Structure 1
Amino acid sequence: MRAEPRVPAQALAAIRAPFVEAGAERVDPPILQPLSLLLDLAGEALRARLFVVQAEGGQEACLRPDFTVPVARLHLASGAAEGRYYYEGTAFRAAPESADRPEEFLQVGLEIYDSGKASPAATEAEVAALAWRAAAAGGRGDLSLWLGDVGLFAALIDSLKLAPSLAARMRRAAARPRLLAAELARAGAEPEGGPAGALAARLAGLSEKEAAALLEEIWALAGIERVGGRGPAEIAQRLVRKAEAAQAPALTPDQAEAVKRYLAIAAPLDQALEAVDDIGGEAPALSAALGGWAERVERLIRAGAPVDRLWFAAGLGHTFDYYDGLTFEVRSEALGAERPVAVGGRYDSLPARLGGADGTRAVGAMVRPWRAYAGGEA
């Protein structure tokens, strides 16, 4: 496993300072995290990037690929309605064979949970500005702050009047470029149908526990012995999604073109929002969702975001599909879009998906100090 070099102490102290000063509780969640949960949140494609471990006869786990889910689990376990958490520790992701990248690396970040009383725009501005300040403290002079909004994409999908199953698939694909490209590529195609639908329909009508039990029974009747890999609940869920993909209607060419036009928007903030508004003239739901951006931009600038380095990319999303509002990245011109210095955003849906109370709001950010440091990753 390739480990990232250490950041000099003085530089690291400067990078962490904005988060430390935010009045958050320091936490260090377990390195081992449940594999099935992370694959549910990011898709099976993430498995190749994870370091998977399994005790004999036990459930599969993985080394934490980041801190958002582990910190969310800690917050929910505490029973608190609200919380602010700062973390600093190592995360782990396997690099592609062709990429000479660290697989063990340091992350510093902040996660905020509130019960709905605070202004969403205020907490988003605070966290994005903290991420910017922490990234800029590393000394790089080529940084810019890129913004996106998963909520705008969802509004665009609503305006297209898609079949419910297709609309749900498109929303899930918002933060997964491969899935989104696949949906756009099959525009105009007829549903495939096929025999897989019968089993999927049967599983879809069951609870997760019942679906897993049914698969276990089928394996037993067929004499199949499971020795590792995905569990029955995970397999059942993926069978249903695969069958849904084959049977779901596709985008029409016109609908696909509208999505492509939207995703192509990437420009300085003012210009980009004007381009989104132009598309919104044909999509009322999109125009309505765009209305909240005036307050968001005002608060971002007031919180210290760089006025002359603000960009908007309509297709900006992260690996995990729980982001459902503002997303952002601090990018270095030298490192490019594939290696952001900092990432973050709003993920109100995650606490409920992990068993928390409805109405909990969540927003957070993470900085990679070795990328922020001027003498670091090149």
Structure 2
Amino acid sequence: MRAEPAVPADALALIRAPFEALGAETVDAPILQPLGLLLELAGEAMRARLFVVQSEGGEETCLRPDFTVPVVRQHLESGRSSGRYFYEGKAFRASPEPGRPDEFRQIGLERFDEQGASPVVADAEIALLAWRSALAGGRGDLSLWLGDIALFAAFIDALGLAEPLAARLKRVAARPRLLAAELARAEAPAPAAAEGARLAGLLSGLSEADAATVLEEMWALAGIDPVGGRSPADIAQRLIRRAEAAQAPALTPAQAEAIRAFLAIEDRPAAAFAAIKAIGGQRPGALDGALAAWDQRLTLLEQGEVPADRIRFAAALGHAFDYYDGLSFEIRSAALDPERAVAVGGRYDGLPARLGGAAGARAVGCMVRPWRAWAGGEA
């Protein structure tokens, strides 16, 4: 495993200072995290980037790839309805680029607000926090890239699609590979049912509990000992979704082309939103609320002294984990590849509920990579 070099203490202190100024509660997270949960949130493709750890006969775990999920779990265990948590420590993900570090430092903050709290101001505050921290590292070539999963959902509503199809597209919005597969279905004839598809179809008529029981009985009869950290219920749910996707109507070529045009938009925010309105579909009014929220966010960002010429909007912006369901952002350096962001963050209101919390809570956070933020660091 290749470790990231250390940032000099004085530079690290400057990058950390905007977080410390908020007075948030300092938290840590266990190095070992449940593998099955993280794969459920990020998709099976993430497995290749995780460092898996398993004792004999024990549950599969992995080295902490990120702090957000562990901090959400700690917040839920506290029983609080709101809170702000600051963290700093090592995270571990295998780099897709040879020679790049697999072990690296993160500094971040997760913010949880009560149900009914307006997300727009919190979104801007978190993006400004990440911007100020990244800027403190001394790079003069930073830019703030914005995206919005909720705007994609509003665009899907504007197309007037059948509800099952619209719901499926929203579900895969943050997973580029799955979204591309949905778009490809508009051009290709439906394939013949494979063995796995027939099994998925059989399970789709059962409740989740009954489907999990059927799988367990099949494994027992075949003498199979399942591996991978996923429960029968998790596997059954995925098979049922696969069956639903195969049976549901596909996009028309025109609808697929409209979505591709949306995802290709990458420009200054005003130009990007004008382009989105221009392809607004059958119900363009469905975009009004999401676009009005962006007017307010941009005003707050500019008041926070993010130069307007450093802000870009990319409709397809996404992160490794698919729990983001609103604002998403990256801070990039012109000296680094766009895939190596200095900071990332976004809104994930649905994640606490997925982990057992109350529905309707608000959650947003950000993370800065000090080695990338520091002017003398990653190149």
**How would you bin the TM-score normalised by the shorter chain?**
over 0.9
Match of 1:134, SS state, is helix
User: Is the counterpart of residue 369 in structure 1 residue 370 in structure 2?
Assistant: yes
After TM superposition, give the deviation of residue 53 of structure 1 in Å: 1.1
| 1:219 alignment partner in structure 2 | 219
CA deviations 1:161-208 (Å, max 9, x no partner) are 333332233112211222222222221334336254553244345555
Q: Is the 8 A contact 2:158 2:281 kept in 1?
A: no
CA deviations 1:309-357 (Å, max 9, x no partner) are 1111111111222111111110111112211100001110001111101
Q: Could you list the runs of 5+ residues in structure 1 that have no partner in the other structure?
A: none
Q: Is the 8 A contact 1:277 1:290 kept in 2?
A: no
| 1:285 alignment partner in structure 2 | 286
How many residue pairs get aligned? The number is 377
Counterpart amino acid of residue 217 in structure 2: E
| 1:24 alignment partner in structure 2 | 24
Q: Is the 8 A contact 1:15 1:138 kept in 2?
A: yes
CA distance in 2 between partners of 1:207 and 1:21 (Å): 50
Counterpart amino acid of residue 370 in structure 2: P
After TM superposition, give the deviation of residue 249 of structure 1 in Å: 2.5
Paired-residue identity, %: 67
User: Is the counterpart of residue 267 in structure 1 residue 257 in structure 2?
Assistant: no
| 1:112 alignment partner in structure 2 | 111
Change (3 A) 1:339 1:303: same
| 1:176 alignment partner in structure 2 | 175
More displaced 10-residue stretch of structure 1: 307-316 or 235-244:
235-244
Q: Is the 8 A contact 1:193 1:246 kept in 2?
A: no
CA distance in 2 between partners of 1:337 and 1:32 (Å): 29
CA distance in 1 between partners of 2:30 and 2:211 (Å): 30
| 2:233 alignment partner in structure 1 | 233
Q: Is the 8 A contact 1:175 1:321 kept in 2?
A: yes
| 1:100 alignment partner in structure 2 | 99
| 1:328 alignment partner in structure 2 | 329
User: Is the counterpart of residue 160 in structure 1 residue 150 in structure 2?
Assistant: no
| 2:63 alignment partner in structure 1 | 63
Q: Is the 8 A contact 2:142 2:331 kept in 1?
A: yes
Change (3 A) 1:17 1:99: same
More displaced 10-residue stretch of structure 1: 45-54 or 217-226:
217-226
CA deviations 1:39-87 (Å, max 9, x no partner) are 1111111111111111222211111111111100000000001000000
Match of 2:279, SS state, is helix
Q: Is the 8 A contact 1:54 1:61 kept in 2?
A: yes
User: Is the counterpart of residue 14 in structure 1 residue 21 in structure 2?
Assistant: no
| 2:358 alignment partner in structure 1 | 357
CA distance in 2 between partners of 1:99 and 1:243 (Å): 38
Change (3 A) 1:119 1:230: closer
- State the Cα RMSD in Å: 1.9
More displaced 10-residue stretch of structure 1: 264-273 or 323-332:
264-273
Alignment of 1:64-213 (within 5 A): 64-96=64-96, 98-116=97-115, 118-192=117-191, 194=193, 196-204=196-204, 206=206, 208-213=208-213
Counterpart amino acid of residue 11 in structure 1: A
Q: Is the 8 A contact 1:113 1:363 kept in 2?
A: yes
After TM superposition, give the deviation of residue 359 of structure 1 in Å: 1.6
After TM superposition, give the deviation of residue 270 of structure 1 in Å: 2.0
CA deviations 1:75-126 (Å, max 9, x no partner) are 0000001000000001110123x53211000000011001035431111111
CA distance in 2 between partners of 1:86 and 1:65 (Å): 17
CA distance in 2 between partners of 1:227 and 1:292 (Å): 44
Q: Is the 8 A contact 2:63 2:91 kept in 1?
A: yes
